[in-house]
A and B are shown apart, each in its own frame.
Chain A
Amino acid sequence: KNEVEQSPQNLTAQEGEFITINCSYSVGISALHWLQQHPGGGIVSLFMLSSGKKKHGRLIATINIQEKHSSLHITASHPRDSAVYICAVSLPGNQFYFGTGTSLTVIP
């Protein structure tokens, strides 16, 4: 059983579409992280959140602690958003669990 589940695994969208990636977890966490990994392999931390909502440019991340669920939204998607998006949770005991990632392709 995976402590972190992401959906969908793969997602193809047309440029301009609104995109949602979901993450569910089964453990008590201290924080949830959204990471972005581009085709070149580099990993960038997009958000770290423990409650509510955060916004950065066209990216919005929300978390519902009671439901153990988080979503990453991309508004007005662009081909440069094509990447793998990884959800990760950190636990109070400092363990980390990672989702398997959502591969997003945005077509011009």
Chain B
Amino acid sequence: DAGVIQSPRHEVTEMGQEVTLRCKPISGHDYLFWYRQTMMRGLELLIYFNNNVPIDDSGMPEDRFSAKMPNASFSTLKIQPSEPRDSAVYFCASSRWIGGSDTQYFGPGTRLTVL
């Protein structure tokens, strides 16, 4: 298996622009997680899905952030409008079962810079 695939790997955009991050989980994994990592706050869980349904989005910072999973092999994290403080590395991860019961496999991350 190719592992968790994320695109783009790097994104530079200007404040106010819409940003869409993409993730393809490992086939057969029922759980998908979106994380954000910054120097100040470390790793934070933003949202996770089970069988394409959002289960817990309490980590999503603001209404500017939204995530969707239209099918088992694709998820997006959208920021609209983007702000400089959104600059971070965004990781997607997947697991067969909920993270407390199974290993999570991380994608390579998308490094987002908002100017």
Chain B facing A: main interface SS: strand
Q: Is B80's CB within 8 Å of the partner chain A?
A: no
Distance of A30 Cα from B97 Cα, bound (Å)? 13
CB–CB A41/B89 < 8 A: yes
Interface bracket on B: 20 to 34
19 extra interchain contacts, Cβ-Cβ under 8 A, other than A33-B103, A88-B43, A94-B98?
A30-B100, A31-B99, A31-B101, A33-B104, A41-B89, A41-B108, A41-B109, A41-B111, A42-B108, A43-B106, A48-B102, A48-B103, A91-B100, A94-B56, A95-B58, A96-B99, A98-B45, A99-B42, A101-B42
Interface contact tally, CB-CB below 8 A: 54
CB–CB B42/A98 < 8 A: yes
CB–CB B104/A100 < 8 A: no
